[in-house]
Amino acid sequence: MNDSLREFASLAIEKYNNHSCMLPLKDETRKFIEGFLRLAFPQFADRSFERTEEIAAAATLLMHDLKKILDSLSAYNPETGKNPYRGETEKVPYKPETGKNPNNPNSEKNAYNSETGKEVDRFHPTGKKLKMVNKEAGAANKNHKQQAPDYGANLTIAGKTATVGLNKNPLRLKTDTSEIVKKFAMKLPGIMRNLDLDAEAIFGGDPAAESEDEVILAYPGFLAITIYRVAHQLFLLNVPLVPRILTEYAHERTGIDIHPGATIGESFCIDHGTGIVIGESSIIGNRVKIYQGVTIGALSVDKSHASTKRHPTIEDDVVIYAQAVILGGETVIGKNSVIGGNAWVTESIPPDSVVIHKSQVRLKHNGKDEPALDFVI
């Protein structure tokens, strides 16, 4: 191995020591949203449903898939005793399958015997002993819930110390995943109603659209809005990472970048869509229509402003034409206003306003081209 490859390897191994392999999380999240699309819209489906109960059963399976994704982000996975998305997992020695502590020379004496059902001591990740019996022996503590230790806590088990949680990437859920899935499922009817209104708004706002089927199946704006509305509800439930994976998947497929934290009202219409950016703290009202290349962004990208409202508020019934840029957390575009193409807006606009970018037309001098403009950037 030459020196360059060795140096590359040493740099890479540091990353592997401090981060986890997360491609499975990304893949499963994408499968989840594709499953939602197939279930919610026959335009995306490869099979038909004839009864409400069939869709309800399929939705239940979809929620199960979501729970598995969320479980992978939990600080502790009770099925394996490990968090597959955290560093140094193997240094936490607890193994619920056997009750053994592989770093403890006396682990055989503390091993759970599922054949005999004999009650024995075994280690919980917190370092405490739990009294465990198998189902046949009566499951004396079947109601006991194993609590995940806090991230960053140093655990010492059988003389081995490990730091629980992601080393530098605090992706965890503090709420029970079953509760999150339950709350998300309650939001599904509202998501569907909003998406129906979005499809109607896009169809009604585009003379080229021949049907709502065309809008749902073929329009990138509708796909981006659909994925955003699912991601936004997970964002509101404080689910880490997954909402951003969803909206970046939409960004990758459509060229439309909507942060899952943005607040967007009913009947949202995106026409064409390529290059649209909508920032995290944006607030967009009802019946707003925006065209390609629009930026609803922040005036400052200073990290210290991360927890503040950095992005504009767009009130109801506003139309924003192509390549317009609207910036700033204190900027409010009043209702019924029109923002013309290529406009640059950093101050609030009163309701019923029209903002245009004034173009300049110059004639050639004596039939000759004007000299090239000297831009300073």
pLDDT of residue 2: 87
User: Do residue 293 and residue 202 come from a single domain?
Assistant: yes
Kindly indicate the confidence band of residue 102, based on its pLDDT and cuts at 50, 70 and 90: very low
pLDDT of residue 373: 46
User: Do residue 242 and residue 152 come from a single domain?
Assistant: no
User: Do residue 112 and residue 242 come from a single domain?
Assistant: no
Residue 52 covered by a domain:
no
Structural domain boundaries, residue 275? 177-355
User: Cα separations (Å) of 113 from 102, 109, 126, 245?
Assistant: 16, 10, 21, 42
pLDDT of residue 171: 58
The residue-averaged pLDDT of 69-95 equals 52
Buried b (16+ CB within 10 A) or exposed e, 21-46: eeeebeebbeebbebbbbbbbebbee
Residue 246 covered by a domain:
yes
User: Do residue 201 and residue 242 come from a single domain?
Assistant: yes
Please give the Cα distance from 15 to 125 (Å, whole number). 25
What lies within 8 Å, CB to CB, of 36 at 6+ separation is 62, 230
pLDDT of residue 368: 62
Q: What is the helix (H) or strand (E) element at residue 121, kind and residue range?
A: strand 120-123
The residue-averaged pLDDT of 10-30 equals 90
pLDDT of residue 172: 63
Kindly indicate the confidence band of residue 181, based on its pLDDT and cuts at 50, 70 and 90: very high
User: Do residue 289 and residue 327 come from a single domain?
Assistant: yes
Residue 18 covered by a domain:
no
> Does residue 122 contact residue 129 with C-beta atoms inside 8 Å?
yes
Residue 78, Cα to own-chain centre: how many angstroms? Answer: 24
pLDDT of residue 70: 94
User: Do residue 281 and residue 299 come from a single domain?
Assistant: yes
List 325's β-bridge partners, or say none: 295, 344
User: Do residue 188 and residue 100 come from a single domain?
Assistant: no
The residue-averaged pLDDT of 4-26 equals 89
User: Do residue 321 and residue 206 come from a single domain?
Assistant: yes
User: Do residue 211 and residue 104 come from a single domain?
Assistant: no
- In the chain, % of residues over pLDDT 90: 60
Q: Say if residue 354's pLDDT is above 80.
A: yes
pLDDT of residue 330: 95
| CA-based nearest residue to 233, from 265, 261, 199 | 261
